Amino acid sequence: MNKKFFSLLTILSIAALLTFFNVPLASSQGLTIVASEFKGDLPANDPTAAAWQKTSVVEVPLSAQNVMKPQILNTKVKSVRVRSLYNDSQLAILVEWADETKNDEMVRVQDFRDAVAVQFPLNVNAPYFCMGQQGSNVTLWHWKADWQADITARKDVNTAYANMYSDQYPFAKGDAVNAIAPKDYTDPNYLPALASNNLFASAVRTTPVENLIAGGFGTLTSRAASAQVVQGFGAWKENKWQVIFTRTLTVKEADDISFANGKVYPVAFAAWDGANGERNGMKSTSQWVSLQLGGVAPSTAKEETNLPSSPEGIVWAGLPMLMLTGGVLTLVALIFLISKLPGKK
């Protein structure tokens, strides 16, 4: 009996220590996206490049966002397939999903765009997967199909309504009766959105990806124009979108994510099917999966242990240990009692 109790206590103590030091015992069955190292320039504008076939693909399931209203419970995008490559300076992520229609215009109020987003947490511990939470922000790379189309040719109201008529633009030069281009304005301050570097008013798109930050529902904020450093390329072919996100491994901003070889990062995805009226929070979203740069795992869990170092933090470190110890003792007592129950045939 003493030997049994001691063995049981040993098992429970080992489990408690493993828990406290965040040592994992369960490995992923395949929802880790392994970014392969690539020598040379990444195929940032070619989703069909042979290089993408040299890295493994992971199918990430999506489900409708159903926590906050408004919501669409029957979203169309059920999963995305993800691959990733990196070299010594950049990271590229290729996201593919099935979509029967190409929705890349958002001029009319009844039109909605196809889009896809990649989300990374900005803290060590991944927050709530849907837009983060208060005190734990996430960074988002949001590719938009209409922005992609704008890179080729900027669309405006006159694109959708070719026969539209405008009366007069008093602050514009020229005699055009249709929509006046921003360049025709004598004073750009009469285009306040453009003058304040509002990305949506931008006359020229330099990237189809918007770089944003969020800390919970309703807090989504576009980063400054100078921080729009994520490049993208998307193409729709044979009922499938293929979108590539590309960014440097490191950035200057303190509240943005930097990547390093060998590290593992939580990542989540969201997708919108414009034909289904999906926009804003009405989307398909995934839970956190893992993105690992390279095949060799990073250093031990000790680096990622979130132990506070200040004196008041000792309470926060000690409290879980006290709970664990109490839990262990309770469990041992329970098992001891269960083992004392009379056996039945």
Partner 1 sequence: MIALETTDRRDLAKHVGLTPQLLLRLLVIAAVFDWLVTRTFTRAAIFMPKPPLVILLYQILNVLGQFAFTLAGFVAILMLTWIAWTYLRTRHDPLMFIALMSLIALSIFFLFVAPAGVSAIVYQLLITVSLGLMIKDSTRHTWINVAAPALALFCATLYQLSQQLQLTDTSLLFNLGELFFAFAPMLIGWRYILPFRWWMILPALAFGIIYFINPAMTGVIAIWSTGLTLYLPSIVYALSLSFVAAILIRARGGDADSAAGAVLLMLAGGYAPQISTQLFLGIIALWLLTPSLATPSAHSLHSFQNQRQPA
Closest to partner 1 by CB, 195 or 331: 331
Asked whether the beta carbons of 180 and 169 are under 8 A apart, the reply is yes
User: Rounded CA gap, 294 and 37, in Å?
Assistant: 6
The rounded distance, in Å, linking the Cα atoms of 318 and 320 is 6
Nearer to partner 1, 98 or 195 (CB): 98
Report the distance separating Cα 203 and Cα 45, nearest Å.
22
Give the nearest distance from C-beta 8 to partner 1 in angstroms: 7
Q: Which C-beta is closer to partner 1: that of 28 or that of 221?
A: 28
What is the Cα 127 distance to its own chain's centre? 12
Smallest distance from partner 1 to CB 161, Å: 38
Nearest distance from C-beta of residue 282 to partner 1, angstroms: 13
State the nearest-atom distance from the C-beta of 25 to partner 1, in Å.
4
Q: Which residues contact partner 1 by CB under 8 A? A: 1-8, 11-12, 14-16, 18-19, 23-32, 34, 56-59, 63-64, 66-67, 73, 128, 130, 264, 287, 290, 292, 295-297, 320, 323-324, 327-328, 331, 334-335, 338-339, 343-345
CB 237 within 8 A of CB 170: no
Dist. CA 179–CA 157, nearest whole Å: 8
- Burial category of 8 from C-beta neighbours within 10 Å (exposed 0-12, middle 13-18, buried 19 and up): middle
Minimum CB separation of residue 21 from partner 1 in Å reads 10
Q: Which helix (H) or strand (E) holds 47?
A: none
Comparison of 67 and 201: residue with beta carbon closer to partner 1: 67
Contact between residue 95 and residue 81 where contact means Cβ atoms under 8 Å apart: yes
Cα 258 to chain center, whole Å? 14
CB of 81 to partner 1, least distance (A): 9
C-beta of 91 vs 106, nearer to partner 1: 91
Nearer CB in complex with partner 1: 18/201: 18
